[in-house]
Structure 1
Amino acid sequence: MRTQGTSPARPDAPLAAARIASVDALRGFALFGILVVNIAFLASGYRMAGMAEPAFGSSLDWGVRWVVTLFFENKFYLLFSFLFGYSFTLQVGSAARRGLPFAPMFLRRLAGLGLLGLAHAVLLFPGDILTTYAAVGLALLLFRAVRPRTAVLLAVALTVLLALGFALLAVLATSGMDLSGRVADGSAQAAASDSALGGAFWDIVSEHLRKLSLIIVARVLFQGPAVLAACLIGLAVGKLGALRDVRAYTETLRRLQWAGFTVGLAGALYYTSSAWNGAEHRFWGEAVDLVTAPLLAAAYAATFLRLLPYLPRAGRALAAPGRMALSNYLAQSLICSLIFTGYGLALIERVSPPAEVLIALGIFALQVGYSRWWLRRHRYGPVEWWLRYLTYWRSPTDGTGGRTDGAGPGRSRTRGGRHAAPAKMA
């Protein structure tokens, strides 16, 4: 990574490049976890309604559901959100070094994310998170001058308020108020949803729009603030430069591992045990998970970053899809839609939870190979290229030539001609 006042030939340039690659690898790791969670929601209308698929009730099916809920659900999107906030600080610094006005560029970037997210939600997956990032990005723009300590305190306050909100819902549900119909479909509607998703194009789009109308309030009131809290932590870490030299923060990483794999895992266990019960149990589980899931996600990140120097091949494999994570995120929904909906094979409600996980592994393995192939020939992923064009309002140079976005003509490379300083991702 080139910084202000440095030479591209400085002695520690390979180490700086490796640091950036570690962030891309972490992003690739988060992308895989998101796929493992999302595929269940793409494969069944029942899962979107918060219920188990009635056709799959074996011990193995339930074991897989528990593993995914315990170790994956609500953890990896927090990692992705943390990296969104971290990348925001890199973009601010890059614009400052080049003397470019940051706010107009970032607003164009957010507009692009919002358009992509809207199309993604309507055509492929109502659980889209890109529209949430577009909205949260506006808040980051307002908070970009805050100190790291202030950012952390804001994140903690948001998390506590959200947990109290779910606790209030749990109390209301316990007192007898029926909240289930307000936040999710019932079993009859879930079956109807499966039928629509297995139908023609307009049936699928209409069903996506219906689901969006159900979850939009929950997204604004709950998911948005949770994403913002994780982004604020990423903002604080970026301002501190903590990921520039992970070895300098070994003790902090160890503490995160201890907290995450004790308190965080205990909270995840409680959340998992409550996820398949009545509304009041689910709300209490959500309240606990909002507080403890960030700890477990942090423990995942800390463990990953500490192990990465000992697993260089795994790091390189994950860094490739991480560099073009936006393209791969959208491609995951497209591939799953072709498998499960009427766009393609229409296998909705016909694939068991274990098979879903195997399909997710296969999709991600293909994305690792495709991403490495693509990045040997192009500087950016296809969607990243479009978003960069919109951000800088000019065409980024692709292939191996110079850059047109003002970052300078040269880029450090690793052995074999691969780019060592990957493009930043939203």
Structure 2
Amino acid sequence: MDALRGSALLLILLVNVAFFSSGFAFHLVDDPAHGVLDRLVAGAVELLFAMKAYLLFSFLFGYSFTLQLDSAARRRAAFGPSFRRRLAGLFVLGAVHAVLLFHGDILTTYALLGLVLLAVRRIEPRTALVAAAAIVGVVAFAVGVAAVLGATLVPDEAAALAAGARSTEALRGGLGTVVLEHLHSLPAMLGGLSVQGPLAFAAFLVGLAAGKHRMLAAVHTHENLLRRCEQVGYPVGLAGATVFAIGGGTENLTGLLVSIVTAPFLAAAYAATLLRMFTRWPRVADVLAPAGRLALTNYLGQSLLCLLVFTGVGLGLAGRTSPAGTLLIALAIFAVQVAVSSWWMRRFRYGPVEWALRAWTHRKRPAMRR
């Protein structure tokens, strides 16, 4: 599970880095300075990872929730109060993250959805899967109705391009200017959560169902299920992702509708392939697992490093790197995190942010050194 979480961290970074490197992405328009090759690279990221990466991460949140439930049961400890403290700490971290580092924060959303997950923790696995499918269906129906009624996410492209140029310039400013840009972007970010939030919770429920069956505890016993996920997930998911990418990604409601329905299939196929790979080549899992163990620290660390690379707080490269160059920077950041995570976990039990959140959750200082 840690290796799978580490993989999800990489996929999330590959999607999020575009929002650090340019203000145009947040306004759902292409940078006019980008050429055909740049658009192909950005389109490939949309096709392969957008709308898929956070579903995989959300699935693991739901799965980890069941492990926390079991841990509390073994210790005969009250789960509700400690988990609510954990969510409160997660919300505060997310709020600080959204203002100082990245306006596309997901932690605050997870914290709020975690309260709902806590309320339905006794749900049966089959019921959880049905509920997840129903949530996806309702969101898809709502987006479909909006598309039929002629709604658009970019009503004025010229205004969006001007806003993108302004945002890019703001990102190249100092910390105060960057924070103001983040605050200015928060209303639009909250609007986007009307789709992302329910879909993330649907993935929570799928993770909850998988966790109650302990599916990741003995992956090799589910080989047939993993193969079916690949056989169905790749054709359906890639077909939908192609429509999504050709349609302009999240700026097109029709493409968004198709992605809402098909992205879970591709995310499931990715998970199945990764799990089978980790079973066949455990050394790969050994390399990625430490990064997954430090997922919260690394998620925040990615934002900090991107802030230092792309904004005026550091190198000020926003708007000055191509999509291909941006992806190479993201891969370099993740490679550094993998190496540092491995070094850290050989010496310490928790990542620094994980340690602080655990201390807050349980109201005691956990042992840090191994």
TM bracket (short chain): over 0.9
Distance in 2 separating the partners of 1:391 and 1:213: 30
Distance in 2 separating the partners of 1:72 and 1:316: 23
- The one of 19, 24, 28 equivalent to 1:41 is 19
- The one of 40, 45, 51 equivalent to 1:68 is 45
Count of residue pairs the alignment pairs up = 370
Deviation at 1:74, TM superposition (A): 1.1
Gaps spanning 5+ residues in structure 2: where? Answer: none
Which runs of 4 or more aligned residues in structure 1 lie more than 6 Å from their structure 2 counterparts after TM superposition? 182-185
1:84 equivalenced with 2:57 (yes/no): no
**Structure 1's 102 and 89: CA in aligned 2 closer, same or farther, altered over 3 A?**
same
Deviation at 1:294, TM superposition (A): 0.5
Deviation at 1:179, TM superposition (A): 4.7
Distance in 2 separating the partners of 1:185 and 1:128: 25
**Structure 1's 184 and 50: CA in aligned 2 closer, same or farther, altered over 3 A?**
farther
Q: Which residue of 1 aligns with 2:278?
A: 308
Distance in 2 separating the partners of 1:181 and 1:346: 30
Deviation at 1:240, TM superposition (A): 1.3
- Which residue identity lines up with residue 30 of structure 2 in the other structure? A
- The one of 184, 187, 198 equivalent to 1:225 is 198
Q: 1 or 2, which has the higher helix percentage? A: 2
Per-residue Cα deviation, 1:347-390 (whole angstroms, up to 9, x for no partner): 11000000011111100100010001111111000000001001
Distance in 2 separating the partners of 1:363 and 1:352: 16
Deviation at 1:247, TM superposition (A): 1.8
TM-score for both structures, normalised by structure 1: 0.84
Q: Which residue of 2 aligns with 1:406?
A: none
- Which residue identity lines up with residue 387 of structure 1 in the other structure? L
Q: 3-state DSSP class of the match of 1:332?
A: helix
1:148 equivalenced with 2:122 (yes/no): no
Whether the 8 Å CA contact 2:240–2:259 is kept in 1: the answer is yes
**Which residues in structure 2 correspond to 1:141-220 (within 5 Å)?**
141-173=118-150, 179-181=153-155, 186-219=160-193
Distance in 2 separating the partners of 1:393 and 1:184: 52
Cα RMSD (Å): 1.6
Per-residue Cα deviation, 1:373-424 (whole angstroms, up to 9, x for no partner): 1111110000000010011110010112xxxxxxxxxxxxxxxxxxxxxxxx
Q: Which residue of 2 aligns with 1:376?
A: 346
**Which residues in structure 2 correspond to 1:17-416 (within 5 Å)?**
23-59=1-37, 61-173=38-150, 179-181=153-155, 186-219=160-193, 221-275=194-248, 282-400=252-370
Q: Compare CA radii of gyration and give the structure with the larger one.
A: 1
Per-residue Cα deviation, 1:16-75 (whole angstroms, up to 9, x for no partner): xxxxxxx0000000000001111011100001111112222132x122112111111111
Per-residue Cα deviation, 1:89-129 (whole angstroms, up to 9, x for no partner): 00011001101110010001000110010001011111110
Whether the 8 Å CA contact 1:199–1:341 is kept in 2: the answer is yes
Distance in 1 separating the partners of 2:330 and 2:67: 31
**Structure 1's 134 and 181: CA in aligned 2 closer, same or farther, altered over 3 A?**
farther
Deviation at 1:178, TM superposition (A): 5.5
**Structure 1's 86 and 245: CA in aligned 2 closer, same or farther, altered over 3 A?**
same
Distance in 1 separating the partners of 2:346 and 2:324: 34
Deviation at 1:185, TM superposition (A): 6.7
